[in-house]
Structure 1
Amino acid sequence: MRHQPTLSTKLLAMGTAFLLVALASIGFTLWVTWKLEGGAAAVNEAGRLRMNMLRMVLAQQQEAPQKFAELAQRFDRSLELLRTGDPARPLFVPWSDATRAHYTAVAREWQAIRAHWRAQPPTREEALARGDAFVTELDGFVQAIEEQIARWTSGLHLFQLLMVALAIAAAVAFMALSYLLVLNPVMRLQQALARVQRGELSTRLAVEADDEFGQLTAGFNRMAHALQASHQDLERKVRDKTASVEEQNQRLTALYQLSALAADAGSLDALTQGFVQHVRRVAGADAAAVRWSDEANQRYVLLAADGLPQSMVEQEHCVVTGACECGQTQAQARMRVIPILPATDMQLPHCREAGFQTVISVPVQLHQRLLGEVTLFFRRSYALADDTRELLASMARHLASSMENLRVAALEREAAVAAERSLIARELHDSIAQSLAFLKIQMQLLHGAVARGNDGARDAAIAELDTGVRECYADVRELLVHFRTRTSDEDIEGALRATLSKFEHQTGVPTHLAMSGQGRPLAPDVQIQVLHIVQEALSNVRKHAGARRVELRVQRHPRWRFEVHDDGQGFDPAAVPPDSLHVGLGIMRERAERIQARLTLHSQPGGRGTRVALELPPPGADDAPPAAVAAADAGQPITFALPDSPT
């Protein structure tokens, strides 16, 4: 882009041009004057030659030859001076064709006169005649010089007239340029300032050049624009401020809605499912997920998801900590924006396969403990603003508090149930258990007393009483143990192992526990019911199965499932008396109904064993109706299930 010269450059150029013209004019005048002075000196020197010629004519007739020779030498020096000139005097001949021709004729004539006079001294009349002829030739040379000087003088006069005209033109040009370059821009600025003072803030000037006045014009335009913006943008700033307040209100509303959700949610499923939908809507994400982390921070289990492909939900149901960018360790947990690049090596490339370009990981922490994380998925590049970052952090803190409140509420329920059962156990221990123990002792005493009578009838009756008393006492003691059972905060595996170990110690029957899959832990109250159902199943094995081995299989994913297998004699469920079914399986049915689970019994006589299966509802099925009992035909399993589930 070509730039026009600045005003300083223009003025400097004008001044330099005027200075150069003046210097050139002065130099030319001085040079011409110097030439005229040199020509005048040459005329004087030529006049000296005329006088020297007359003196030599006289010296030829009256004086000695030495005097003539001296005058001749002087004459030669004058001729040589006219030929070479002397800049110091100054003296030089203004050479032209006429002056050169006359000078050549004078020099030749002088050489001829001197040669003739040396060869034969002339007579007086002859010398005078020859001298007059030489002087005439010399006068022609002088006249040629004077003509040349006259021409130089005429040229000088003409140049002076030209300089006068040039000075006039320069003055006019200077005034015109001053008006165009200085006065007119100043007037335009003054007029624009007057309009701005009258309130015309839209006044603008065209920037016609990039010199100093162009910069001043641009500065004036910026000043006018700033004034107009400050005047006109006041309403816009008010609207922006109002929008900012509205945005803050929306964030407060989002937090309020989250608090309301946490207050209304009765389970972890309802809380997390509602949270992912809410946080996805607030953040404008394409998908959202909430993952739970165990206390040791070894894995992340998917609690709820919204917008994720079903394949991705299945593939990332359980993620080992550190296996993916999302599964952060507790020491490095922080909010991160993770770009999904095509060339990035990833252990779990499911996000890239699903078309997501950006993932935001928000840790869910409470009191320096990592409970899980919230993951937001975007199918575009997403930059996390500071206000959005603060909002997501606040929502994550609310989620952590709500999860902890649910856990505390479950523990409180468990504590209440445990306290009630402890009370019942104490009552049983203090009344029924002691009574049965006393009855047992009395039966032994009766056996000894009656032994002296009818031995057969008395022995049979006493044996039956003794057996009944022992079984009743064992049942009461087992019930006491069941009432006092506790579970861990997170995993039921420890309680199951303790139960199997106790069973193995009491019966001598070997047991095996098989755990498979990864899933989120059961609520403490659900753990208690499951553990009691398993204990009831083991109690039935101890009483009736005659098994040589018992196996407990536990499956965590996609839903919790517990199966108690034994290799005992088995039985026909259809042939069991109703009363016995009511006492044994009825208790298990009631516990299954409390946790909305499905209880299934598979058994056949002939040593094929028995399998009792307890299947919990999938996540999100908390609002399902209670389980019901369905009796199957002979040889078919007896199932306690949801009405809309297959039996």
Structure 2
Amino acid sequence: MRKKPTLSTKLLAMGTVFLLVALASIGFTLWVTWQLEGGAAAVNEAGRLRMNMLRMILAQQNESPQEFARLKQRFNDGLELLRTGDPARPLFVPWNDETRTQYEHIRSQWLLLQQEWKMSLPQESGAAAVARGDAFVSEIDGFVQAIEVRIMRWTAVLHLFHLFLVALAIGSAVAFMALSYLLVLNPVTRLQQALGRVRQGDLGTRLEVETEDEFGQLAAGFNLMAHALQASHEGLERKVREKTATIEVRNQRLSALYAVSALAGEAGSLEALAQGFVQQIRSVAGCDAAALRWSDEANQRYVLLAADGLPKSLAEEEHCLNTGTCECGQAQERARMRVIPIVPAGRLQLPHCREAGYETVVSIPVQLHQRLLGEVTLFFRTTLDLSEDMRELLSTMARHLASSMEGLRATALEREAAVAEERSLIARELHDSIAQSLAFLKIQTQLLRDAVAKGNTEARDRSMAELDVGVRECYADVRELLVHFRTRTQDEDIEEALRATLSKFEHQTGVAAALSMSGQGLPLAPDVQIQVLHIVQEALSNVRKHAGARHVQLRVQRHPWRFEVQDDGSGFDPQAVPPDSLHVGLGIMRERAQRIGASLRLESRAGGGGTCVTLELPAAGVDERLPDAITTPFIAAA
């Protein structure tokens, strides 16, 4: 590798270039000046030739032949001097095609003039000789003019060169300043700025070594000095960090546990508690996604309760997991914290996690009093090895979650008991009031019979029939209301309560009824279950009173919850029922649906088309619309 020139070499080369340019400029100026001086001397010499010619013409007329011969010799000498030049004076003709042509023409004319002088008679008139001399002098003037034109051109070149020298001087000054900035001033400024940053505490400051000259060596030395200072400073900081590492870990654990405890106190529903917990544990563990699954009392399945950062497709595919079908759904007897690596060709059944790009899954059971309530799953896109401190922290957070869930369950049980007690009181009030009215109606019936027995047979029979039908129907309604008000769910799943309701309906009416359930989802809140059962019972009551059906089908879909009561009865036109109708069953069902934030839809057609009552619950959960209801899947534990 070629070694780059040093700063001294660069400065020396720059000075040498400037010196050579200056010497060349001076030499060219001297040479042009020498050419101008020689041309001016040639013009003077040509002028003497003109004067000498005039002397020869006068000497030819008035002076001796010896004087004429001397003048002629002087003319020849002058003409020869113009041809050869004299570097010592200096004197030389700036030759070019024009001056050379003029000079040769003068020589030929001079030779011709000498021949004419030899052949001419002594008695030649002076006027003719002067005219011949003037003509020759005109030839010399043309030669002089050619020399002057040449001199003018050299003068113009000299002026242009002077302008060039001025521009060159300005450019050289600019180039000198630019090179000085690049080679000297800029490196010095960068070094000063780096020293200022180090003085302010930025010990990681380094200078880029761009050259191998003196400034490059100075930058390398500065980097070595800064590195030594930084290493010394980092050594001291490392010792301080090692002393405070344990305290920071403990503070982190205390902060995380405090946040979980605060969340348990602020959450008003299981969904809010679960969602806040997965966000908190994801922040503490630094995972890419976190999920909380709830397990039923029999530990047969795991239903996704809350997730944070989990892809939507993965959440849908693993919304409900049967226990033991995946590494995440642990059986109660084998529940423990596990770090599960996901390998491309392994025996572990984790296809969804592998497709989502996760490489490690951490499973944390949520247990309380030897009961498995659920499982927390952490997803990492990198390989992971949990430390003992992190394992202990995650286990403690899971225990806090279990305690909070148990607290919500106890609160839900208390509220359910209060609702049941209140409805029992309402049932007793209805029994006391409506039952007395029915007793009064029976007495009136007896009195009416006695009165009719006295005479009016037609009125007697008609009144007796109407009173009998009214009393029977009123009495049946009262018994049905009493059953509705005393309804209470004992299981966490509504399926058993629905089967019991249909069984009672079949027993009372003789109409065949069937129940079909599909899908998997979280159980309904106790208060919501009661409202749903009342709506279903009211729909069945309408079937009993008005439909004349032979078969009733109850279809239930979980996630989201959807209930359909379908009969094959006579049907009716819903638009034909006036708002102020005495048949208030439809209005009661709509009010109950509105109370739990659900939608009720009625589809029927007169003439044997049957009737379908559809109840749809919101997918987000009904607890947000029920301030007194807490969605919890642990009612069965009561």
TM, length-normalised to structure 2:
0.59
Residue among 427, 430, 436 paired with 1:428: 430
**Could you list the per-position Cα deviations for residues 47-67 of structure 1 after superposition, in whole angstroms to 9, with x for gaps in the alignment?**
xxxxxxxxxxxxxxxxxxxxx
Residue among 292, 309, 333 paired with 2:335: 333
Q: Tell me which residue corresponds to 1:564.
A: 565
Q: Partners of 1:417 and 1:475 in 2: how far apart?
A: 22
Please identify, of 601-610 and 340-349, the stretch whose mean Cα deviation from structure 2 is larger.
340-349
Q: Tell me which residue corresponds to 1:305.
A: 307
Q: What amino acid is aligned across from residue 301 of structure 1 in structure 2?
A: V
Deviation for aligned residue 1:409: 1.6
Q: Does 1:605 align with 2:606?
A: yes
Q: Partners of 1:541 and 1:413 in 2: how far apart?
A: 32
Conserved 8 A contact 1:340-1:357:
yes
Q: Partners of 1:447 and 1:265 in 2: how far apart?
A: 65
Q: Partners of 1:501 and 1:580 in 2: how far apart?
A: 30
TM, length-normalised to structure 1:
0.59
Deviation for aligned residue 1:278: 1.4
Conserved 8 A contact 1:410-1:525:
no
Residue among 242, 245, 258 paired with 2:244: 242
Deviation for aligned residue 1:462: 2.9
Q: Partners of 2:472 and 2:262 in 1: how far apart?
A: 56
Q: Tell me which residue corresponds to 1:397.
A: 399
Residues 419/612 of structure 1: CA separation in 2 closer, same or farther (3 Å cut): same
Residues 441/241 of structure 1: CA separation in 2 closer, same or farther (3 Å cut): farther
Conserved 8 A contact 1:533-1:591:
yes
Deviation for aligned residue 1:420: 0.5
Q: Secondary structure of 1:578's partner?
A: coil
Give 1:30-45 correspondences, 5 Å limit.
Answer: none
Deviation for aligned residue 1:607: 0.8
Residue among 512, 515, 532 paired with 1:513: 515
Please identify, of 282-291 and 480-489, the stretch whose mean Cα deviation from structure 2 is larger.
480-489
Q: Does 1:465 align with 2:478?
A: no
Conserved 8 A contact 2:448-2:460:
no
Q: Partners of 1:577 and 1:616 in 2: how far apart?
A: 27
Q: Which runs of 5+ in 2 are unaligned?
A: 1-230, 628-638
Q: Does 1:592 align with 2:593?
A: yes
Q: What amino acid is aligned across from residue 525 of structure 1 in structure 2?
A: D
Deviation for aligned residue 1:347: 3.9
Q: Tell me which residue corresponds to 1:409.
A: 411
Q: Tell me which residue corresponds to 1:95.
A: none
Conserved 8 A contact 2:566-2:611:
yes
Q: Which runs of 5+ in 1 are unaligned?
A: 1-228, 627-647
Larger Rg: 1
Q: Tell me which residue corresponds to 1:323.
A: 325
Q: Does 1:573 align with 2:574?
A: yes
Q: Partners of 2:332 and 2:475 in 1: how far apart?
A: 51
Conserved 8 A contact 2:528-2:622:
no
List structure 1 runs of 4+ shifted beyond 4 angstroms: 232-238
Residues 525/428 of structure 1: CA separation in 2 closer, same or farther (3 Å cut): same
Q: What amino acid is aligned across from residue 287 of structure 2 in structure 1?
A: A
**Could you list the per-position Cα deviations for residues 63-114 of structure 1 after superposition, in whole angstroms to 9, with x for gaps in the alignment?**
xxxxxxxxxxxxxxxxxxxxxxxxxxxxxxxxxxxxxxxxxxxxxxxxxxxx
Q: Partners of 1:569 and 1:425 in 2: how far apart?
A: 33
Deviation for aligned residue 1:450: 1.5
Conserved 8 A contact 1:562-1:614:
yes
Conserved 8 A contact 2:596-2:622:
no
Equivalent pairs counted in the alignment come to 396
Q: Tell me which residue corresponds to 2:171.
A: none
Please identify, of 246-255 and 371-380, the stretch whose mean Cα deviation from structure 2 is larger.
246-255
Q: Tell me which residue corresponds to 2:99.
A: none
Q: Tell me which residue corresponds to 2:619.
A: 618
Q: Partners of 1:431 and 1:555 in 2: how far apart?
A: 39
Determine which structure has greater relative contact order: mean sequence separation of CA pairs < 8 Å that are 6+ residues apart, divided by chain length: 2
Deviation for aligned residue 1:241: 3.8
Q: Secondary structure of 2:515's partner?
A: strand
Q: Partners of 1:444 and 1:505 in 2: how far apart?
A: 31
Q: Tell me which residue corresponds to 2:263.
A: 261
Q: Secondary structure of 1:538's partner?
A: helix
Q: Tell me which residue corresponds to 1:118.
A: none
Q: Partners of 2:396 and 2:439 in 1: how far apart?
A: 61
Deviation for aligned residue 1:236: 4.7
Give 1:270-285 correspondences, 5 Å limit.
Answer: 270-285=272-287
Conserved 8 A contact 2:596-2:626:
no
Q: Partners of 1:454 and 1:240 in 2: how far apart?
A: 110
Q: Partners of 2:625 and 2:486 in 1: how far apart?
A: 30
Residue among 467, 484, 501 paired with 2:486: 484
Deviation for aligned residue 1:378: 0.3
Residue among 538, 541, 559 paired with 1:539: 541
Residues 345/451 of structure 1: CA separation in 2 closer, same or farther (3 Å cut): farther
Please identify, of 401-410 and 293-302, the stretch whose mean Cα deviation from structure 2 is larger.
401-410
Deviation for aligned residue 1:234: 8.3
**Could you list the per-position Cα deviations for residues 411-451 of structure 1 after superposition, in whole angstroms to 9, with x for gaps in the alignment?**
21111110001111122223322431342254145224423
Q: Secondary structure of 2:365's partner?
A: strand
Q: Partners of 2:278 and 2:307 in 1: how far apart?
A: 6
Q: Partners of 2:285 and 2:551 in 1: how far apart?
A: 55
Please identify, of 535-544 and 246-255, the stretch whose mean Cα deviation from structure 2 is larger.
246-255
Deviation for aligned residue 1:473: 1.6
Q: What amino acid is aligned across from residue 260 of structure 2 in structure 1?
A: L
Q: Partners of 1:388 and 1:300 in 2: how far apart?
A: 25
Q: What amino acid is aligned across from residue 584 of structure 2 in structure 1?
A: V
Q: Partners of 1:458 and 1:582 in 2: how far apart?
A: 28
Q: What amino acid is aligned across from residue 280 of structure 2 in structure 1?
A: H
Deviation for aligned residue 1:622: 4.5
Conserved 8 A contact 2:595-2:626:
no
**Could you list the per-position Cα deviations for residues 144-200 of structure 1 after superposition, in whole angstroms to 9, with x for gaps in the alignment?**
xxxxxxxxxxxxxxxxxxxxxxxxxxxxxxxxxxxxxxxxxxxxxxxxxxxxxxxxx
Q: Partners of 2:601 and 2:532 in 1: how far apart?
A: 14
Residues 624/581 of structure 1: CA separation in 2 closer, same or farther (3 Å cut): farther
Q: Tell me which residue corresponds to 1:350.
A: 352
**Could you list the per-position Cα deviations for residues 438-493 of structure 1 after superposition, in whole angstroms to 9, with x for gaps in the alignment?**
42254145224423322222322332222222222211111111111111241111
Q: Partners of 2:420 and 2:283 in 1: how far apart?
A: 41
Q: Tell me which residue corresponds to 2:183.
A: none
Q: Tell me which residue corresponds to 1:499.
A: 501
Q: Secondary structure of 1:328's partner?
A: coil
Residues 531/621 of structure 1: CA separation in 2 closer, same or farther (3 Å cut): closer
Deviation for aligned residue 1:606: 1.3
